[in-house]
A and B are shown apart, each in its own frame.
Chain A
Amino acid sequence: GENVEQHPSTLSVQEGDSAVIKCTYSDSASNYFPWYKQELGKRPQLIIDIRSNVGEKKDQRIAVTLNKTAKHFSLHITETQPEDSAVYFCAASKASGTYKYIFGTGTRLKVLA
């Protein structure tokens, strides 16, 4: 069935360093890949997304890359700050029809001051 694998499960970086989280999806028909940030006790919030007709998208310190051939996509956070500490979830969707999201298992990011 449809599956999204996410690595690593935990990630600790020093403030100012970069963080990279990787996801792999199984359904080749997926064409929309959002990333959500969930702070403790809060709802998940969309931080960036990418569609399959684009290879890379950037928004300030955050970027997402997509390799459709390999069915990989990654989140890159540069110049990390303590407020980036949260759990990050990737997801894959067909963005049409059911609009169903399959979420990855999550990455707990800790930015050490």
Chain B
Amino acid sequence: SAVISQKPSRDICQRGTSLTIQCQVDSQVTMMFWYRQQPGQSLTLIATANQGSEATYESGFVIDKFPISRPNLTFSTLTVSNMSPEDSSIYLCSVVTGHGYTFGSGTRLTVV
């Protein structure tokens, strides 16, 4: 299965600022997914990122708040913009392989 490097692993940010999370995959993948996992909660899909096209956002998530880049088949970024304490969460990228989803190690974001 694919190996995903995600960074940063954690960050503490001031409200009103932005944080960009990076995911690097060790093989070329068509689709990458960005999930949010709030403390003690399930995984909620933010958007699907395909190379060469605009990301597809799920209900409740908008591009202005969570802009995504997908410049090639091995890399993607998610930016959390104009952060508020409600954005404190774990953010995970994932890819589809022959063995289902493989997740990155996650970014634990705390907004103060």
Interface residues of A (CB under 8 A from B): 1, 32, 34, 36, 42-46, 49, 89, 98-106
The CA of A51 and the CA of B68, in the complex, are separated in Å by: 31
Residue from the list B45, B92, B96 in contact with A43, Cβ < 8 A:
B92
The CA of A1 and the CA of B59, in the complex, are separated in Å by: 11
Task: Name the B residues within 8 Å of A45 (CB-CB).
Answer: 103
Residue from the list A32, A100, A106 in contact with B48, Cβ < 8 A:
A100
Task: Name the B residues within 8 Å of A106 (CB-CB).
Answer: 41-42
Task: Name the A residues within 8 Å of B33 (CB-CB).
Answer: 100-101
Please determine whether A34 and B48 come into contact, CB atoms closer than 8 angstroms. Answer: no
Tell me what chain B mostly uses at the interface: helix, strand, loop, or mixed. Answer: strand
Please determine whether A49 and B100 come into contact, CB atoms closer than 8 angstroms. Answer: yes
Please determine whether A105 and B106 come into contact, CB atoms closer than 8 angstroms. Answer: no
What is the distance, in angstroms, from A20's C-beta to the closest C-beta of chain B? 19
Task: Name the A residues within 8 Å of B106 (CB-CB).
Answer: 43
Task: Name the A residues within 8 Å of B31 (CB-CB).
Answer: 98-99
**Which chain A residue has the least Cβ–Cβ distance from B103?**
A43
B61, CB-defined interface residue at 8 Å: no
The CA of A100 and the CA of B100, in the complex, are separated in Å by: 11
Please determine whether A99 and B96 come into contact, CB atoms closer than 8 angstroms. Answer: yes
What is the distance, in angstroms, from A22's C-beta to the closest C-beta of chain B? 15
Which B residues between 39 and 85 are near A, CB-CB below 8 angstroms?
A: 41-45, 48, 56, 59
B105, CB-defined interface residue at 8 Å: yes
Residue from the list A42, A46, A104 in contact with B101, Cβ < 8 A:
A46
Please determine whether A89 and B48 come into contact, CB atoms closer than 8 angstroms. Answer: no
The CA of A39 and the CA of B45, in the complex, are separated in Å by: 20
What is the distance, in angstroms, from B27's C-beta to the closest C-beta of chain A? 16
Task: Name the A residues within 8 Å of B105 (CB-CB).
Answer: 42-43
The CA of A1 and the CA of B44, in the complex, are separated in Å by: 14
Looking at B42, B45, B106, the one whose CB has the most chain A CB atoms below 10 A away is B42
